[in-house]
């Protein structure tokens, strides 16, 4: 998997279902330890809530998936939460990952039943996701190229205006060193595009691959 979606910022949302309050927080995380700390913080913040149901999904291929019913009847809370996180992948949209969801429930005195709980927890996470801002996280090949100092500002402007991803610019005595990124496997295409844009051959020095967040 060379592309997936991540949260831009943490999200908090609340649903009132038959007097029970379902407060959901979504947070971007990259490790199980970070996910478990978010869950622990939700417990501290909502210490008077009856349940803190959670699920998280990690990695480009979503290799790590965990969920917890936290005292709710088995299968009625954690799995619907996880399903809501993983249901976003479609043919036209990459999957969501590197995210933890915690829904704290304050019981309102009316039992919802197994089906009601399943719908409530799934809807609580879906409701939070509906208000989330997302970035595309893409595996990129990175390269450096050297620009003559006399033309650096002009050529950098052309490169950026054409929509190419410029990660850093470092000015040295030899010229301006631009670090550029393109989707993995597209380095040759990038060199051809830059040559046409600048009207000269452009040398690209391969660097390490990296994950880059882009506006969705």
Q: Give the pLDDT mean for 89-108.
A: 87
Are both 24 and 107 inside the same structural domain?
yes
Whichever domain contains 202, its CATH number is 3.30.70.240
Domain count, the chain: 2
Phi, psi of 142 (to 5 degrees): -115, 150
End position of a domain, from candidates 132, 159, 180? 132
What span, in angstroms and rounded, lies between the C-alpha atoms of 202 and 126?
Answer: 47
The better pLDDT of the pair 96, 1 is held by 96
Are both 159 and 80 inside the same structural domain?
no
Cβ neighbours of 5 (radius 10 Å): 21
Are both 44 and 127 inside the same structural domain?
yes
Q: Give the pLDDT mean for 98-104.
A: 98
Q: What is the pLDDT of residues 139-179, one digit of tens each?
A: 999 999 999 999 999 999 999 999 999 999 999 999 999 99
Q: Give the pLDDT mean for 4-28.
A: 96
Q: Which residues pair with 28 in a beta bridge?
A: 99
Domain range spanning residue 173?
137-215
What span, in angstroms and rounded, lies between the C-alpha atoms of 31 and 98?
Answer: 8
Q: Give the pLDDT mean for 103-130.
A: 95
């Amino acid at each position: 998997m060379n592309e997936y979606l991540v949260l831009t910022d943490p999200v908090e949302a609340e649903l009132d279902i038959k007097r029970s309050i379902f407060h959901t927080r979504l947070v971007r995380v990259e490790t199980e330890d970070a996910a478990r700390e978010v869950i622990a913080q939700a417990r501290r913040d909502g210490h008077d809530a009856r349940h803190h149901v959670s699920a998280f999904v990690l990695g480009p291929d979503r290799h790590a998936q965990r969920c917890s019913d936290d005292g709710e009847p088995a299968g009625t809370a954690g799995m619907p939460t996880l399903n809501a996180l993983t249901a976003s992948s479609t043919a036209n949209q990459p999957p969501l990952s590197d995210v933890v969801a915690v829904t704290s429930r304050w019981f309102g005195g009316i039992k919802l039943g197994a089906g009601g709980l399943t719908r409530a927890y799934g809807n609580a996470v879906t409701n939070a996701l509906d208000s989330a801002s997302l970035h595309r996280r893409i595996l990129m090949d990175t390269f450096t190229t050297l620009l003559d100092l006399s033309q650096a500002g002009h050529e950098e402007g052309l490169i950026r205006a054409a929509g190419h991803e410029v990660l850093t610019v470092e000015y040295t005595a030899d010229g301006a060193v631009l670090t550029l990124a393109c989707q993995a496997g597209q380095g040759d295409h990038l060199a051809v595009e830059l040559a046409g844009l600048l009207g000269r051959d452009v040398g690209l020095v391969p660097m390490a691959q990296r994950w880059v967040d882009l506006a969705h």
